[in-house]
């Protein structure tokens, strides 16, 4: 039997390490491409199911099963390094997309800007748009929320304005989901008071009503009123203004709509009952959405979306930083992650300006405790 030679053994290890280094480099190149795909498709860095499959397959490929524990530890480290590299690429992509608002066209009253909104003339979205940009603004109406995001992404409009939260019924979850899907940013917000009314054709009365049309939010905000009319058929429609238009064109006294007094005037309808909403302080927050992340010295509200490890204390580790570092946490909202039962995206709003080193350092600290992190906007709070 040949006597063991340490130098020869080390030479063999050196050859293997050289091969491992080349394979590691190749793996990281592919990891970077995966990060590009996830940026494009707005996917989280962590995919626990995929990592578990890779580790299981690697262990199964071992001839010497006694090394299973060591193989698992090896790949756990590889996965961690890969996640860190993906996060680095995603963060660098976010930094490249930041635009100083001073370099952009002046927004308010600029006729050159084109703004998209969901709905038609007389909608609450159009009202919010005019309040924010001015009535001289060039506008473009779309049927669905997603249509607005497509128009922004394709450069058809400069900005979109969309409802994201109501003081009575909570968040408009579809808009949160579309922000992630299309990788757009919040660059401003405005809040308007929403007064829901029951509208009917000229000469009609409440006693004539059999069917009522409105957006689901309109029905939810007026739920207490409709309890007194259980025989009415409530029919969800695209939005409140379209509902008013539908009733106006139908000319049928048995049909009514829940919409604004502005829509009533625009479509020649009578207001049969004012202030249907059960909350007299009924407000809707609209966000101004664009393709780029815009920041200036007036920006004082930050919106982010993140995910954390699916284990005890992970979310607390993030949230406690706000208290420890003195940042005012304004809101937290969870949205389920598709194809991952009981795992969530967390949408968080807090006060701050990313141009301030202290705030930026805290945000960087938060990132280290997440498995996915994206800034959705840094803008002037209403």
For residue 216, give the 3-state DSSP assignment: helix
Calculate the CA dihedral of residues 105, 108, 114, 118 and round it to 10 degrees: 140
Which is catalytic among the residues 137, 169, 284, 307? Answer: 284
Give, as one character, the DSSP assignment of residue 18. H
CB 244 within 8 A of CB 120: no
Q: How far is CA 71 from the centre of its chain?
A: 38
Q: Distance between CA atoms of 298 and 320, rounded to whole angstroms?
A: 26
Told to judge if 345 belongs to the known catalytic residues of this protein, a careful annotator would answer no
Q: Distance between CA atoms of 336 and 84, rounded to whole angstroms?
A: 23
For residue 304, which of 190, 186, 191, 188 has the smallest C-alpha distance? Answer: 186
Which is catalytic among the residues 117, 133, 286, 373? Answer: 286
Q: Distance between CA atoms of 175 and 348, rounded to whole angstroms?
A: 14
Give, as one character, the DSSP assignment of residue 291. S
Told to judge if 350 belongs to the known catalytic residues of this protein, a careful annotator would answer no
For residue 14, CA distances in Å to 10, 17, 18, 234, 273 come to 6, 5, 6, 75, 84
Hey, how many other C-beta atoms are within 10 angstroms of the C-beta on 63? Answer: 5
Which helix (DSSP H) or strand (DSSP E) does residue 165 occupy? strand 159-166
Enzyme catalytic residues: 284, 286
């Amino acid at each position: 039997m040949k006597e063991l030679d340490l130098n020869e053994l080390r030479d063999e290890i050196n050859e293997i390490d050289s091969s491992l280094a080349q394979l590691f480099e190749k793996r990281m190149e592919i990891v970077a491409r995966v990060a590009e795909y996830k940026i494009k498709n707005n996917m989280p860095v962590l995919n626990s199911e995929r990592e578990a499959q890779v580790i299981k397959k690697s262990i199964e490929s071992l001839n010497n099963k006694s090394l299973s524990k060591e193989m698992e530890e090896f790949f756990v480290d590889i996965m961690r390094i890969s996640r860190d590299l993906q996060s680095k690429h995603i963060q660098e992509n976010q930094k490249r997309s930041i635009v100083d608002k001073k370099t952009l066209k002046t927004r308010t009253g600029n006729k050159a800007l084109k703004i998209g909104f969901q709905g038609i003339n007389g909608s609450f979205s159009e009202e919010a748009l005019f309040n924010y940009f001015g009535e001289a603004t060039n506008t473009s109406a779309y049927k669905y929320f997603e249509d607005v995001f497509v128009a922004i992404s394709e450069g058809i409009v400069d900005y979109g304005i969309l409802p994201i939260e109501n003081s009575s019924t909570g968040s408009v979850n579809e808009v949160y989901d579309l922000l992630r899907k299309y990788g757009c940013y919040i660059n401003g917000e405005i809040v308007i008071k929403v007064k829901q009314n029951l509208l009917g054709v000229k000469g009609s009365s409440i006693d004539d009503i059999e069917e009522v049309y409105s957006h689901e939010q309109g029905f939810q905000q007026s739920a207490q009123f409709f309890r007194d009319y259980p025989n009415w058929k409530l029919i969800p429609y695209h939005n409140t203004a379209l509902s008013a238009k539908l009733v106006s064109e139908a000319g049928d006294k048995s049909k009514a709509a829940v919409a604004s007094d502005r829509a009533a005037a625009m479509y020649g309808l009578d207001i049969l009952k004012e202030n249907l909403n059960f909350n007299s302080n009924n407000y809707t927050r609209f966000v101004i959405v664009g393709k780029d992340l815009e920041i200036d010295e007036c920006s004082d509200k930050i919106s982010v979306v993140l995910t954390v490890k699916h284990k005890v204390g992970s979310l607390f580790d993030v949230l406690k930083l706000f208290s420890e570092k003195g940042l005012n946490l304004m809101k937290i909202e969870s949205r389920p992650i598709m194809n991952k039962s009981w795992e969530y995206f967390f949408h968080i709003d807090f006060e701050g300006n990313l141009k301030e080193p202290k705030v930026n350092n805290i945000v960087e600290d938060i990132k280290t405790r997440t498995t996915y992190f994206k800034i959705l906007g840094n803008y002037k709070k209403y």
